[in-house]
Amino acid sequence: MTLGLVQCHVARSHPEANASFAYSQLAELAIQGVDLVVFPEAFLTGYAAESREEALALGIPPDDPSIRSVRSRAAELGVGLVVGWIENDTGTIRNVVELSTPDGARHRYVKTHLPELGADRYAEPGDALAVFETPWGRIGMLVCFDLRAPEACRTLALQDADLVLLPTNWPEGAETSAELLARARAAENRVWLAACNRVGTEGGFRFIGRSQVVDPDGRRVAELGEDADRLIVEINLEQAREKRIRTIPDRYEWTVFDSRRPELYGPITEARDLGRPRA
């Protein structure tokens, strides 16, 4: 499949303007043969909010015209679309991303791991990590800070994800995610991982770009800098279905998940009171 990442500025609280920009990008990328176009986290709305009131004002309803219009435009062009927004669903705030495919399917993901930052401070976390069947292969979605929890990407990989998409708002200070964590998550699970970040400033944050595509060996096969740009990458999802690693063929080989010891991992799923002093 051919993947397109749009690393761009975002107009805060102007979903119609952001949708209009998306129309032009979708049209140009469709001409270039792109199958699936990915925009950054909270692309339609922006992300920065310093209070619950600001987050509510930033959010748009689940059936906002900007969502419907950009979804329809992608369908008309015959391309897949990954687009996100801050949602205000009758007073409930969520950080949402939607994957729509040319066959009319729509798959929704709500960010599950929330940092103490921006609109996420006031959002309700999602309660599912799912992998979706698409015309190209099995695709899972995470959003930005979700990458920090290794269990999230591993959960998608254990559901046979070929590709993990990560719309993100990496600001200054998040260089570790761009430099290290994206590659680590891809390599430790042998999945493709595509991170699409934004650029510019909003609410005192400066965003670092660095959108990238990482292969199942953890190699960054394409990356952008810190300016607005687009990335078009052809990827072979079948590479992610080969989970056997041959460091020295016939002498030193292993399969990614076969050496796991789930019976030892109980503490991973136990809630920990961070305010409780250690013994």
pLDDT tens sequence across 209-238: 999 999 999 999 999 999 999 999 999 999
DSSP 75-125: HHHT-EEEEEEEEEETTEEEEEEEEE-TTS-EEEEE--S--SSGGGGGPPP
pLDDT at 274 exceeding the cut of 90: no
Question: What would the mean pLDDT of 243-264 be, rounded to a whole number?
Answer: 93
Could you tell me the CA-to-CA distances from 49 to 56, 100, 169, 173, 260 in Å, in that order?
9, 27, 13, 18, 41
pLDDT of residue 278 exceeding 60: no
Determine the CATH number of domain 2-269: 3.60.110.10
| Arithmetic mean of pLDDT, 67-77 | 98
pLDDT (tens digit per residue) in 141-191: 999 999 999 999 999 999 999 999 999 999 999 999 999 999 999 999 999
Mode of pairing for the β-strands spanning 131-133 and 106-110: unpaired
pLDDT of residue 276: 53
pLDDT value at position 271? Answer: 84
Tell me how far apart the alpha carbons of residues 271 and 217 are, in angstroms, rounded to a whole number: 32
* Entry pTM: 0.96
From residue 13, how far is each of 17, 65, 69, 140 by CA, in Å? 9, 14, 17, 28
Average pLDDT value over all residues in the chain: 96
Name residues whose C-beta falls within 8 Å of residue 217's C-beta, 6 or more positions apart in sequence.
186, 187, 190
Which H or E element spans position 167? strand 163-167
Amino acid at 197: N
Q: What is the pLDDT of residue 279?
A: 45
pLDDT, residue 19, reads: 98
pLDDT for 261 equals: 95
What crossing angle do the helices spanning 150-158 and 182-189 adopt, rounded to 10°? 30
Convert the pLDDT of each residue in 37-48 to its tens digit. 999 999 999 999
SS3 189: helix
